[in-house]
């Protein structure tokens, strides 16, 4: 039996995604940069914050698409590795990891300006080191623990900032908005480039995608909400600073929020907003530590970094990866001034966004059917082309020093790959699937990996899996049968429902088996193909009491090289027009078959109904036996339409005396009936409370 790779626990909720994304965005950009931005743009710094968000939107949409298709630890590293190959992945992974570390160090040092308001002359480095250690320990105890801490931080921060904005807007001095555009277009654009780093943290949650519950819903929704809230706070908050604090006092001010709060609310207000600033810096340091520590983990899994970094500790967290990340943060705090270097990391972030745009184009153009994002970025490919052009433009506008920094990181990453990882890595990216379309080559391992991810993600809302199972055809074979005979028996039945002859169906199934497209797992074979002219998938279940031999072919030579004996064969035929749903249904079947409870339920099933129920997940169905003296006696002699079920429930199968009846609204339930009800997990839970003894 195959050993399952140990994965990080899915413990981050929608609120957790929002808190991590918002927490990495509302820090220095709000509490430190407005004073510096005012020196360049004057009152138009408000507009600069709006303009700065525009180039980030294509990056955010593209990162979310990749994260919902490939929810794996490592974020940008994983996307670039799988799309553009391990060399680019190594450069991106190491560079993004170091850039995050620098930004965490910058956040911890950034607290100094606000702490010095309370304790002038205090050395911030020892406090920053202690805080880095504390956050490291918190992260070791699990993403759930550190995620809850992040939620508390962000909720507190947003509450204080709401108080700041609500108290400031009625007291705005509108004369201070005069001469709004005096700084000129060039200065406003340069200021937008300065404050751009305020927003880039919103995409960092992608590196934690593997730990997000229901990533296809929670990742896009959490990131979009975080960016929307952040932009609103930046616009309103900077408007308050400009409208309350005289421009002469705002320019160059390193604690602009505290200075504004002192005018609005006095010393207590200044103290409260200074506390909010410290919370913001702690928040970005915590979220940054969480995100950064997943990069060594992901690269270790792929043999790009030493293997011990992928080991998970008692709390299912990458202990060694967290320790390494925090150690480097502490070294930077003690021996270097990360504030200057952290600004250079923004240039590398822009380069990574450029590669992310290319990755989306490569993944889509590779036509890999198992590339199945829960969210697709709109306006493809123009959105990505705009992102590439705007990111490269901003990089060159930054000057020679950031470009030299980029070059150094690229060279360092390339050397690490060449001398350490190259001999250990045996994979290529989706770009090889582009080559295949041009008649050259492809890397089949990526398709296999993406299919595994589909299996973990499960069904998407609207996938009719339960209905397909309850309406499927069943063969319960007691005698010996060959695989060829089983295929012919199935084809004879299926040809009545799809626009293919029995001979064509046999040919499709046998050809798929010859090219290695028939998965065999845990004693079950899953022949499958897609067909035009049908609207919904069709499933045929076959239980073979004495077992059946499935030929295993070499996918390169097409020669039979092995035989595997199975106890069941499931035939799946789906519409040609929906390949990703076909793969999700196939992955759902494979996932259910892999459950330890499946084999016992399948082998002990007494009839056709129980065979179907064996394939359904316990959370999505309930079988009720109608008996006097039990809770279900309420159903006796009632028509189905008169029985009140929780919303979202559907009576799919009714068994009466060994016969299966298609249930209708006017079907009357009698004693000894057995009904199978399908629905969402919440409805099933409510149903169990009502009718299960």
Q: How large is the average pLDDT for residues 87-103?
A: 82
Q: How large is the average pLDDT for residues 561-577?
A: 87
CA 31, 168, 276, 348 dihedral sign is negative
What pLDDT digit, counting tens, does each position of 208-246 carry?
Answer: 778 888 888 888 899 999 899 999 999 999 999 999 999
User: Is residue 264 scored above 80 in pLDDT?
Assistant: yes
Which comes out higher in pLDDT, residue 121 or 341? 121
Q: In this predicted structure, what is the pLDDT of residue 428? A: 58
Backbone phi and psi for residue 367, each to the nearest 5 degrees, phi listed first: 60, 35
Q: In this predicted structure, what is the pLDDT of residue 444? A: 56
Backbone phi and psi for residue 547, each to the nearest 5 degrees, phi listed first: 85, 160
Task: Identify whether 6 is part of a domain.
Answer: no
Domain end call among 573, 601, 616: 616
Q: In this predicted structure, what is the pLDDT of residue 382? A: 93
Q: Please check whether residues 216 and 265 belong to one and the same domain.
A: yes
Q: Which two structure tokens, joined as six digits, stand for 561? A: 């090289």
Q: Please check whether residues 609 and 641 belong to one and the same domain.
A: no
CB 48 within 8 Å of CB 41: yes
User: Is residue 192 scored above 70 in pLDDT?
Assistant: yes
Q: Please check whether residues 175 and 257 belong to one and the same domain.
A: yes
- How far CA 632 is from CA of 239, 467, 652, 690, in Å, comes to 64, 23, 17, 9
Q: In this predicted structure, what is the pLDDT of residue 454? A: 64
Q: Please check whether residues 610 and 666 belong to one and the same domain.
A: no
**Cα torsion at 217, 218, 223, 226 (round to 10°)?**
130
Cα atoms found within 13 Å of the Cα of residue 35, Cβ hemisphere only: 17
Q: Please check whether residues 415 and 525 belong to one and the same domain.
A: no
Is 374 in a helix, a strand, or coil?
coil
Q: Please check whether residues 97 and 234 belong to one and the same domain.
A: yes
Q: In this predicted structure, what is the pLDDT of residue 229? A: 92
Three-state DSSP string of 204-243: HHHHHHHHECCHHHHHHHHHHHHHHHHHHHHHHHHHHHHH
Pick from 78, 71, 73: which is nearest to 92 by CA? 78
Lowest mean pLDDT among 9-23, 103-117, 569-583: 103-117
Q: In this predicted structure, what is the pLDDT of residue 559? A: 63
Q: Please check whether residues 624 and 595 belong to one and the same domain.
A: no
Residue 506: which CATH number? 3.40.930.10
- Look up the domain containing 50 and give its range: 14-420
Q: How far apart are the first and last CA of the chain?
A: 37
Q: In this predicted structure, what is the pLDDT of residue 362? A: 86
Residue 342, phi-psi category: left (phi > 0), alpha (psi -120 to 50), beta (remainder): alpha
Q: In this predicted structure, what is the pLDDT of residue 486? A: 92
Q: What is the DSSP letter of 438?
A: T
Task: Identify whether 427 is part of a domain.
Answer: no
Task: Identify whether 93 is part of a domain.
Answer: yes
Q: In this predicted structure, what is the pLDDT of residue 447? A: 58
Residue 243: which CATH number? 1.20.1740.10
> For residue 519, how many other CB atoms are within 10 A of its CB?
17
Q: Please check whether residues 266 and 282 belong to one and the same domain.
A: yes
Task: Identify whether 425 is part of a domain.
Answer: no
Angle, helices 215-244/143-168, rounded to nearest 10 degrees? 30
Q: Please check whether residues 623 and 515 belong to one and the same domain.
A: no
What pLDDT digit, counting tens, does each position of 10-45 carry?
Answer: 778 888 889 888 877 887 678 878 888 888 888 999
Task: Identify whether 343 is part of a domain.
Answer: yes
Q: In this predicted structure, what is the pLDDT of residue 162? A: 92
Q: Please check whether residues 511 and 387 belong to one and the same domain.
A: no
Domain end call among 420, 437, 468: 420
Strands 473-477 and 538-553, how do they pair? parallel
Q: In this predicted structure, what is the pLDDT of residue 535? A: 86
Q: In this predicted structure, what is the pLDDT of residue 385? A: 93
Task: Identify whether 436 is part of a domain.
Answer: no
CB 255 within 8 Å of CB 113: yes
CB 573 within 8 Å of CB 531: yes
Pick from 190, 207, 185, 187: which is nearest to 349 by CA? 207
Kindly give, in sequence order, each residue whose CB lies less than 8 Å from that of residue 465, ignoring residues fewer than 6 positions away: 459, 585, 588
Residue 635: which CATH number? 3.30.70.1450
Q: Please check whether residues 220 and 109 belong to one and the same domain.
A: yes
Task: Identify whether 437 is part of a domain.
Answer: no
Which comes out higher in pLDDT, residue 670 or 395? 670
How many domains is the chain built from?
3
Is 549 in a helix, a strand, or coil?
strand
Q: Which two structure tokens, joined as six digits, stand for 680? A: 């969402």
Task: Identify whether 444 is part of a domain.
Answer: no
Q: In this predicted structure, what is the pLDDT of residue 684? A: 80
Q: In this predicted structure, what is the pLDDT of residue 234? A: 92
Q: Which two structure tokens, joined as six digits, stand for 313? A: 């500790």
Which comes out higher in pLDDT, residue 196 or 484? 484
Domain end call among 592, 616, 640: 616
Question: What distance in Å separates the CA atoms of residue 690 and residue 688, rounded to the nearest whole number?
Answer: 5
Q: What is the mean pLDDT of the chain?
A: 82
What pLDDT digit, counting tens, does each position of 110-134 carry?
Answer: 676 667 667 777 777 788 888 888 8
Residue 504 CA, chain-centre distance (Å), reads: 40
Q: In this predicted structure, what is the pLDDT of residue 277? A: 83
Q: Please check whether residues 345 and 362 belong to one and the same domain.
A: yes
User: Is residue 681 scored above 50 in pLDDT?
Assistant: yes
């Amino acid at each position: 039996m195959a050993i399952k790779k140990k994965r990080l626990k899915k413990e981050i909720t929608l609120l957790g995604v929002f808190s991590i994304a918002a927490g990495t965005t509302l820090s220095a950009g709000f509490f430190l940069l407005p004073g510096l931005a005012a020196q360049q743009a004057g009152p138009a710094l408000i507009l600069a914050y709006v303009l700065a968000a525009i180039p980030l939107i294509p990056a955010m949409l593209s990162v979310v698409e990749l994260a919902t298709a490939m929810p794996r630890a490592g974020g940008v590293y994983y996307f670039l590795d799988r799309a553009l190959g391990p060399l680019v992945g190594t450069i991106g992974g190491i560079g993004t990891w170091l850039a995050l570390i620098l930004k965490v160090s910058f956040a911890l040092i950034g607290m100094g300006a606000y702490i010095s308001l309370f304790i002038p002359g205090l050395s911030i480095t020892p406090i920053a080191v202690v805080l880095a250690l504390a956050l490291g320990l918190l992260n070791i105890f699990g993403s759930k623990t550190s995620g809850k801490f992040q939620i508390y931080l962000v909720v507190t921060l947003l509450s204080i900032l709401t108080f700041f904005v609500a108290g400031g807007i009625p007291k705005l001095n509108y004369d201070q908005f005069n001469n709004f555009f005096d700084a000129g277009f060039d200065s406003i654009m340069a200021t937008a480039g300065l404050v751009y780093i305020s927003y880039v943290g919103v995409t960092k949650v992608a590196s934690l995608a593997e730990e997000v519950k229901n990533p296809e819903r929670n990742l896009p929704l959490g990131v979009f909400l975080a960016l929307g809230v952040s932009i609103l706070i930046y616009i309103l908050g900077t408007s308050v600073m400009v409208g309350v604090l005289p421009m002469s006092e705002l320019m160059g001010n390193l604690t602009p929020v505290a200075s504004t709060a002192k005018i609005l609310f006095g010393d207590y207000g200044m103290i409260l907003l200074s506390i909010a600033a410290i919370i913001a810096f702690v928040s970005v340091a915590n979220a940054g530590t969480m995100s950064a520590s997943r990069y060594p983990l992901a690269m270790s899994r792929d043999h790009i970094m030493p293997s011990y970094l992928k080991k998970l500790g008692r709390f299912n967290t990458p202990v060694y990866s967290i320790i390494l990340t925090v150690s480097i943060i502490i070294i930077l705090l003690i021996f270097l001034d990360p504030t200057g270097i952290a600004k250079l990391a923004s240039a590398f972030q822009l380069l990574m966004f450029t590669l992310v745009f290319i990755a989306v184009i490569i993944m889509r153009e590779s036509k890999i059917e198992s590339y199945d994002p829960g969210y697709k970025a709109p306006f493809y490919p123009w959105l990505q082309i705009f992102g590439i052009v705007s990111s490269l433009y901003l990089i060159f506008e930054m000057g020679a020093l950031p470009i030299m920094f980029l070059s150094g990181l690229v060279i360092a990453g390339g050397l690490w790959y060449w001398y350490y990882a190259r001999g250990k890595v045996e994979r290529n990216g989706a770009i090889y699937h582009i080559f295949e379309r041009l008649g050259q080559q492809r890397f089949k391992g990526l398709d296999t990996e993406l299919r595994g991810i589909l299996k973990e993600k499960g069904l998407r809302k609207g996938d009719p899996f339960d209905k397909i199972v309850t309406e499927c055809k069943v063969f319960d074979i007691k005698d010996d049968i060959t695989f060829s005979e089983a295929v012919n028996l199935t084809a004879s039945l299926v040809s009545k429902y799809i626009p293919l002859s029995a001979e064509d169906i046999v040919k499709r199934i046998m050809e798929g088996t010859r090219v290695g497209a028939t998965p065999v797992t845990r004693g079950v074979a899953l022949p499958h193909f897609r067909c035009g002219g049908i609207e919904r998938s069709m499933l045929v279940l076959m239980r073979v009491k004495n077992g059946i031999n499935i030929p295993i072919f070499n996918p390169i030579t097409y020669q039979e090289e092995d035989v595997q004996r199975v106890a069941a064969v499931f035939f799946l035929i789906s519409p040609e027009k929906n390949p990703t749903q076909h793969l999700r249904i196939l992955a759902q079947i494979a996932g259910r078959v892999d459950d330890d409870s499946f084999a016992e339920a399948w082998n002990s099933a007494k009839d056709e109904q129980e065979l179907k129920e064996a394939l359904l997940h316990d959370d999505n169905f309930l079988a009720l036996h109608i008996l006097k003296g039990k809770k279900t006696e309420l159903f006796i002699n009632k028509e189905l339409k008169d029985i009140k079920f929780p919303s979202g429930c559907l009576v799919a199968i009714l068994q009466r005396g060994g016969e299966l009846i298609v249930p209708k609204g006017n079907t009357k339930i009698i004693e000894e009936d057995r009904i199978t009800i399908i629905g969402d997990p919440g409805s099933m839970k409510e149903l169990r409370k009502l009718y299960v003894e």
